[in-house]
Homo-oligomer: A and B are copies of this chain.
Amino acid sequence: MAKQKVDEATIIKESLKLFRQTSYHTTSMADIAKACGLQKGSLYHYFSSKEELMMKVIMSVHNFFKEEVFTLAYDESIAPLVRLDQMFSRATSIFVNKETGEMLGNVGVETALVIPEFQPVIQEFFQDFFNAVKKVYTSKYSDIVANELAERAVAEIEGSLLLARIFNDNNFLKNTHKRLVARLE
């Protein structure tokens, strides 16, 4: 047996990095292979197609957010304001990070529109995001108001993320974080 150069998790991580940097459609299997130190054909030992690889990347991002971000919303031992602050802090630092950074916003739309299989899993990510934010707002507001605030928060975060990337300026994210937390005070 040939010595194993990489494992599946490494390929997913490298793919995420590339998809985030240069989008799904402009990242080739050859690019991914090169980043992993493999020949592109060898990738098919781990994944049956580029779409299957992308699907696993999406699920990997979703799980990471579940475990590292969304979970904070449900920790009743922490005050709501602190929970929200921590959640947005973590999300922001993940988004800004060039390695693991946000991908499901821009790349999500890019792919969800063209590859129908991706749409439901991307929707699930945003639904979980929304639910987590709403949960915290519910501690202070009625269900209907919490719903509106959560919808607004997710939109604001994704929009400021888009502006941050277009203007190459992370202050858009930082300002949004501040505003969202202030809304709970």
Contacts and interface: CB of A to CB of B under 8 A. Distances in A.
B158 A108 contact: no
Contacts of A175: 148, 151
A33 interface: no
Interface string A73-90: 000000000000000000
A126 B160 CA distance: 12
Contacts of A109: 106, 162, 165-166
A158 B151 contact: no
Binding site secondary structure of chain A: helix
A157 interface: yes
Interface in A23-57: 23, 25-26
Contacts of A161: 159
A37 to B, nearest CB: 24
Contacts of A25: 23, 25-26
A156 B156 CA distance: 5
Contacts of A119: 166
A140 interface: no
A2 interface: no
Interface stretch (A9-17, A62-70, A110-118, A131-139): A110-118
Contacts of A26: 25, 114
A165 B22 CA distance: 21
Contacts of A156: 152, 155-156, 159
Contacts of A172: 151, 155
- In the A-B complex, list the 6 residue pairs whose CB atoms are closest, starting with the nearest: A159-B159, A155-B159, A158-B159, A25-B25, A155-B160, A106-B109
Given A109-B162, A152-B156, 20 more contacts: A22-B113, A22-B114, A23-B114, A25-B25, A25-B26, A106-B106, A106-B109, A109-B165, A113-B165, A119-B166, A123-B166, A126-B163, A148-B179, A151-B163, A151-B175, A152-B176, A152-B179, A158-B158, A158-B162, A159-B161
